[in-house]
A = this chain, B = another copy of it.
């Protein structure tokens, strides 16, 4: 069976290296995956609007111009994705992560949510729309390996095994 490529969008928290962990893990496993993400440089993400289109005296419009330019990237990449992974971290409100999850859900994209157990209750509506709720980046890699390659550690690949 020919392998075809999968695209995975990594949304959410930008202050730890969870994206790198997933990308390194997928590469180590040789998975045919293309990753995409928002711009994770916090300053650039905040200022892109005014840096390119000119300054705004009002903070609201400063933010607005930047957020709209970021939306050009994020909306396009979510729409292209086969799978959307959304990470909620320990800090900040991260409403944009939940917002991306809502977009993914409405577009019927398979959704994997990644967060610690302490956020489980607050994220129950988001989790309820997900096909997997993981706690660690390596679990996301394991899901991708299973979903794309059909490989699961400890289960030899003999597809006609007895039940």
Contact = CB atoms under 8 A, between A and B. Distances in A.
Interface in A89-132: 92-108, 110, 112, 117, 119-129, 131-132
Contacts of A160: 14-17, 40
Chain copies in the assembled complex: 8
A52 interface: yes
Contacts of A67: 124-125, 127-128
Contacts of A143: 52, 69, 72
A39 interface: yes
Contacts of A95: 88, 94-95, 97-98, 122-123, 125-126
Listed residue (A71, A94, A106) with the most chain B CB atoms within 10 angstroms of its CB: A106
Contacts of A123: 93, 95
B125 A35 contact: no
Given A72-B143, A155-B44, A125 B98 contact: no
A45 B114 CA distance: 22
Given A67-B127, A95-B123, 15 more contacts: A42-B159, A42-B163, A44-B150, A52-B134, A52-B146, A58-B58, A61-B61, A64-B128, A65-B132, A69-B132, A70-B125, A71-B110, A73-B147, A95-B125, A95-B126
